[in-house]
Amino acid sequence: MFALALIELPLLYSEVYRRQGGHRMITSAFEYHRPSDLAGALSVLEEHGDDARVIAGGHSLIPMMKLRMADVPHLIDLQDIADLKGITVEVGTVTIGAMTTQHDLINNKALLAAAPIIHEAALQIADPQVRYMGTIGGNVANGDPGNDMPGLMQCLDATFTLVGPDGTRSVKAREFYEAAYMTEREDGEILTQISFPVTNSGFAYEKQKRKIGDYATAACAVLIAKEDGKVTSASVAMTNLSDVPVLSEAAGAALVGTSCDAIAMKAAVAAALQDIDPTEDNRGPVEFKIHVAGIIISRAIARAWSRA
């Protein structure tokens, strides 16, 4: 429903001019729905089909609507649905409601203990004002390759819960993303929660950006578990280096069994770079992005290893 192909937001703006000959900061008229429970949200979604879309924090959708790149006659605001908020850590599993804000992620002590990488990554998303509104669910569900949480969720091997007219199902973050803005989620479904195992691995989220609020030039999430001085498991995922988040299994495999020495690190970086496909934009040409990606990946691995 939101197939903006591989075009990134800034390039979209000139596309707006090309197609419509107009500037935009005012959305088309829309009907605003604010259900108080999930059933209510699902029924509006079912009633209006393609004409309806849910809104979480709105940081991706509202700019799209203002640019009139997204035409949403029925907007369903999820913020009154209490069940969609909150963080629990129980029997080795972290569960986060989709409407939990980045601000809440940063300030939750149980989450900090259970998965400190979330804290490190969320602090690198936008600025405090945005994080008061921006949610983890919106961040992972939208399918924007620039968003930080999808790669992180792949790194954590998270599971997304989708609720729709046919009931509830689970999809692995590692299998969720198809292309930019294209995901496994069906039109009638709402992503309600995210869960992943508690981790005590060494961690790092390394991100290069031009300024506060920017998408990554390159970013990388790494988790490394260590025993007897050797890597027992490693997970390496990258942000904004392809049209989807990229989990490099080969990079992880290159580290396992090693002591994360220079040779292993080099092999892991080389493997990770095989899995990405960045495009040129105002941040720079492909050659630059690949080089920076290599640096960011190796720094993330080194920092995660130092904490393992």
Give the DSSP H/E element, type plus range, for residue 47. helix 38-48
With beta carbons less than 8 A apart as the criterion, state whether 221 and 42 touch. no
Please tell me whether residue 235 binds other proteins under the rule CB under 8 A. no
Cα(first)–Cα(last) distance of the chain, in Å?
42
Please tell me whether residue 6 binds other proteins under the rule CB under 8 A. no
Calpha distance 190→214 (Å, rounded): 27
28, 168, 200, 306: which one binds other proteins (CB under 8 A): 28
21, 92, 167, 229: which one binds other proteins (CB under 8 A): 21
Instruction: Map residues 130-169 to x or -, x wherever contact with other proteins holds by CB under 8 A.
Output: ----------------------------------------
Between residue 200 and residue 229, which ones bind other proteins under the rule CB under 8 A?
208, 210-215, 217
Please tell me whether residue 68 binds other proteins under the rule CB under 8 A. yes
Please tell me whether residue 22 binds other proteins under the rule CB under 8 A. yes
Q: Which residue has the tokens 């490693």?
A: 234
Return the structure tokens found at 66. Answer: 């203002």
Please calculate the CA angle 295-299-301 and round it to the nearest 5 degrees: 120
Assign residue 296 a region (left: φ > 0; alpha: ψ between -120 and 50; beta: otherwise). alpha
3, 25, 91, 262: which one binds other proteins (CB under 8 A): 25
Number of residues that bind other proteins (CB under 8 A): 36
With beta carbons less than 8 A apart as the criterion, state whether 15 and 57 touch. no
Count of all residues that appear for the chain in the document: 308
5, 26, 113, 263: which one binds other proteins (CB under 8 A): 26
Which chain residues interact with other proteins by CB under 8 A? 9-11, 13-14, 17-26, 28-29, 68, 127, 208, 210-215, 217, 282-285, 288, 291-292, 295-296
